[in-house]
Structure 1
Amino acid sequence: MKVIKNITPHQVSVSAESFTATLFAWAGYDVSAQYGANQPEYDLIVAQGEKMVKISVKGSQDGGWGLTQSFLSNGDYHGAIDEWYLKHSKRTIFSLVQFLDCDFDKGIMPRVYLASPYEIAVQMKQMRNGYGNTS
């Protein structure tokens, strides 16, 4: 398979969702994908027995995921992070998929990180020596 550099944002999004769904299915979870534009809060639902979790998938090919920039006002990074955090359910986790430096020919696959909105908010507030960041 040829390595594709700089795929479109749509291709990144579709690929990230596919990788996440594959990994959860491979781990023995039932996976349900939500398709269509403007999906509310989550892209996938994974379940195992009676346990169910919503998964919001974010893909990147540049090393970061812009999550809170649309909430930023007057340079208040912590306020933007708080506003972003409050929009997410405690039953939602994020799958952050990174395509930077992938090389399928050499077996270098995307990295996938799972984190709760709380964990992401804490990390984002610690960035830039505690001033916070939007990605």
Structure 2
Amino acid sequence: MNEFTSWHVGVAAEAYTAAILARYGYDVSVQYGANQPEYDLIAVSGDKILKISVKGSKDKSWGLTQGYKKGCTYHEAVDRWLDAHHEKTIFSLVQFYGIAQNEMPRIYLATPKEIADRLKKSAGGRGETILYENHTWGPRAAGRGTTDSIPKEWLISEERLNFLFKTYGQ
């Protein structure tokens, strides 16, 4: 079996996101090439467009704000990350952990604000640079005994997509 590298994760995450959006009946346009702007693909419904940034993972987490952490608190790093993203960009968080090659990955859709709020609540409120799909903090951690998890309502569904298009579609 070939290794499923981070490059493969990124390509597959975009492909699965595009495929499921198409399956829900949206028109999808994928950007290819280096130095893409804020988003990786767009989904269109009537006259509404969602710009979508795709993040793939194979380890139950997405590292999002590490590059903003130097010299500041976790909450400040999250605020810097949030400031760097357009409020109407939607993140597709694609998780391959525990998924067989012939199975669909779990796909979550969230706004930058929703992600920022979740990151700030992480580790018992200390904050974190990593968004965890489901993680319980051990006895020596700042958030000991607490569990961070992706809200169930972020899971891709017709209802979630309708909400996002209605609220954030441009």
- Cα deviation 1:87-116 (Å, max 9, x = unaligned): 1112210000000000135xx421000000
Unaligned residue ranges in structure 1 (runs of 5+): none
- TM-score, normalising length from structure 1? 0.91
2:101 paired residue among 100, 104, 109: 104
Residue of structure 1 in register with 2:5 after alignment: 8
1:20 paired residue among 17, 21, 29: 17
3-state SS of the aligned residue for 1:74?
A: coil
Task: Find the aligned partners of 1:124 and 1:55 in 2 and give their Cα distance.
Answer: 19
3-state SS of the aligned residue for 1:104?
A: coil
Residue of structure 2 in register with 1:124 after alignment: 119
Unaligned residue ranges in structure 2 (runs of 5+): 131-170
State the superposition RMSD in angstroms: 1.3
Q: How does 1:1-135 map to 2 (within 5 A)?
A: 7-105=4-102, 108-135=103-130
| Superposition misfits of 4+ residues, deviation over 4 angstroms | none
State the Cα distance separating 1:71 from its structure 2 match: 0.3
- Cα deviation 1:48-95 (Å, max 9, x = unaligned): 110001000000001100000000023511111001111111221000
Structure 1 counterpart of 2:15, one-letter code: S
Task: Find the aligned partners of 2:82 and 2:99 in 1 and give their Cα distance.
Answer: 30
Higher RCO (CA 8 Å, separation ≥ 6 residues)? 1
Task: Find the aligned partners of 2:101 and 2:71 in 1 and give their Cα distance.
Answer: 42
Task: Find the aligned partners of 1:103 and 1:8 in 2 and give their Cα distance.
Answer: 15
Task: Find the aligned partners of 2:88 and 2:48 in 1 and give their Cα distance.
Answer: 10
Task: Find the aligned partners of 1:81 and 1:59 in 2 and give their Cα distance.
Answer: 19
Structure 2 counterpart of 1:72, one-letter code: K
3-state SS of the aligned residue for 1:100?
A: coil
Percent identity reads 52
Structure 1 counterpart of 2:124, one-letter code: N
